[in-house]
Structure 1
Amino acid sequence: MGNSPTVPEDNSGEDSKLYIDVDRHKWPILYSPDYDISFWKLETIHPFDSTKWKRVYQLLNEKNMLKGLEDIVQPNEASVSDLLVVHTQEYLESLKSSTNVAMVVEVPPLAIVPNYIVQNKMLRPFRYQTGGTILAGKLAMERGWAINIGGGFHHCCSGEGGGFCAYADITLSIRFLFQRVPDVKKVMIVDFDAHQGNGHERDFMDDDKVYIMDMYNRWIYPNDIKAKSAINMKIELDVHTGDETYLRHIRRKLPEALDEFHPDIVVYNAGTLPVQKNNS
């Protein structure tokens, strides 16, 4: 991931339809059927599970934790104006090439698919999930907590995507908070995905209002050396790290980070692969 161009400060997303008012009877849990990606089985080429969001939602219903879509919040799709709050125009234009999208999401056959199909079947779900992450920030400040079942695209920065991450939803959510919620002056990112969160790290490289705690497997993608310099609390794990060691790091280091920084809000990226089980 190379150096990202600076985004102009006047991209404030003033016409955004993402910060909607939500009825108090709804749980601050965000999901939409538009999150899920499925077409021609191309999504199965990548190890990332692109329909897991639906199954998480279904499981919550099966466990009687929800009573259907009426209990949760369905976000709007992030518009170009919303995305320009963080992303460069050059980067968004690059996604109009199916070849570029194929490289970002690591699904090579997408390169030969007409871009209007790629936009509708692949990038549109990402934009809905990005809208969910942005709205989750607002709801968390209003309710004390919020969960977006999708999102967490932590390999994407303002000017470049990668690792199945096309939009920098974490960075966008934080930028919206800084611009629209006066009580938010300091934000902590806690990233416990198995991979280093190099996207948001590059976006907040020189921003002392954002504190980053990142725990990841040191031996796997992306190993972004430059981005690591933005991590305030870095925990690099080895392959086959067990539960006891993993949880010991969290119990010791997370309180240290909170004592050091005192954020107004914490953005927690749970990740898709905090743990991988060896069944052999």
Structure 2
Amino acid sequence: MEKYSRLRDLVSQLVGLELVEAPAVSDTQILYAHDPSYLIKILSGNLSPKEQQEIGFPWSELMVERSRRSAGATLAAAKVALNEGLAANLAGGTHHAYRDKGGGFCVFNDSAIAARALQKEISPHLKIAIIDLDVHQGNGTAAILENDSSIFTLSIHGENNFPFTKERSDLDVGLPDKTGDATYLATLHQSLEILDMSFKPNCIIFLAGADPHEGDRLGKLSLTQEGMRQRDEAVFQYGLDRQIPIAFSMAGGYGREIQSTVDIHFQTILTALQFEKQYG
């Protein structure tokens, strides 16, 4: 949790960037992606010990409020991006939350909620791509959106990493341990080409996880900091070339040194700022 406050402190020093308090998603917006029975359990605190263990932390009113705001920030960023080109949630990326259960430190699935809310509240014609570059497969996102042809789910992740039972995204690429920069970046470019040929999105939600980095305790993919920068640049360049708005979230990051994770997340923000002014 400490990475979030450290990242915010760094971002607050940047000129030309506006920090806005994260709004909370409503019950109605949560229900675009989650079952009513699950929402009731979360709101009332009636999660079993096993369900709380699967999420990874105990229930509390503050946990519910934080989860609402984490999802709300991704939706707010997406709405800003539609007008301005790029916007970020300094948390988010809670892609292990399923329609009817949480998991892996994820309570509500912010990407699925945001995508569905954009279609309900902005335009039903939005074709949204969720580009998930966290080192762990976006299993909850894939399961929630599996039969939704209007939202494309792309996940590039460690094949031998959590979750050990994978779901089916529209495009899944599982990579071996110690993949490194060259193979990862080639895979990403190829995946973006497939996305462009098969779907042609007009809005992107990007999960910019820091955990593929070589300094991550859980990542195993061994990307350098420069490789991580080129990863982010590839996604932002893809969006810029096609004038596709991008909302991005920080997602995972578990560095052996917490500052290394903060530095990767901050680098993503700095990379985005280099593109922000080029959006027309």
Scaled by the length of structure 1, the TM-score of the pair is 0.70
Q: Which of 141, 155, 164 lines up with 1:223 in the alignment?
A: 164
The structure carrying a bigger helix percent of its residues is: 2
Structure 2 counterpart of 1:168: 109
- The 2-side partners of 1:278 and 1:80 are apart by 35
1:235 aligns with 2:173: yes
- The 1-side partners of 2:160 and 2:85 are apart by 36
- The 2-side partners of 1:212 and 1:93 are apart by 27
Deviates more, 1:135-144 or 1:80-89: 80-89
1:103 aligns with 2:53: yes
The percentage of counterpart residues that share the same residue type is 26
TM-superposed CA distance for 1:265, in Å, is 0.4
- The 2-side partners of 1:274 and 1:181 are apart by 33
1:196-244 Cα distance to aligned partner (Å, 9 max, x none)? 001110111111111121100011111334x22xx22221111111122
- The 2-side partners of 1:191 and 1:93 are apart by 28
CA radius of gyration, larger in: 1
1:139 aligns with 2:90: no
- The 2-side partners of 1:278 and 1:137 are apart by 28
Scaled by the length of structure 2, the TM-score of the pair is 0.70
Structure 1 counterpart of 2:89: 148
Structure 2 counterpart of 1:88: 35
Instruction: Verify the 8 A CA contact 1:183 1:264 in the aligned structure 2.
Output: no
**Structure 1 stretches of at least 4 aligned residues deviating more than 4 Å after TM superposition:** none
TM-superposed CA distance for 1:278, in Å, is 7.1
Aligned length: 215
| Helix, strand or coil at the partner of 1:137 | helix
TM-superposed CA distance for 1:262, in Å, is 0.6
Structure 2 counterpart of 1:192: 133
TM-superposed CA distance for 1:153, in Å, is 0.4
1:252 aligns with 2:190: yes
Instruction: Verify the 8 A CA contact 2:51 2:101 in the aligned structure 1.
Output: no
1:76 aligns with 2:17: no
1:57 aligns with 2:8: yes
TM-superposed CA distance for 1:272, in Å, is 4.2
- The 1-side partners of 2:2 and 2:130 are apart by 25
- The 1-side partners of 2:29 and 2:195 are apart by 31
Instruction: Verify the 8 A CA contact 1:154 1:197 in the aligned structure 2.
Output: yes
Instruction: Verify the 8 A CA contact 2:146 2:170 in the aligned structure 1.
Output: no
- The 1-side partners of 2:214 and 2:56 are apart by 20
1:181 aligns with 2:128: no
TM-superposed CA distance for 1:58, in Å, is 1.1
1:20-43 Cα distance to aligned partner (Å, 9 max, x none)? xxxxxxxxxxxxxxxxxxxxxxxx
Deviates more, 1:177-186 or 1:193-202: 177-186
Distance 1:65 1:250, change over 3 A: farther
Instruction: Verify the 8 A CA contact 1:104 1:166 in the aligned structure 2.
Output: no
Taking only aligned residues, the RMSD between alpha carbons, in angstroms, comes to: 2.2
| Helix, strand or coil at the partner of 1:236 | strand
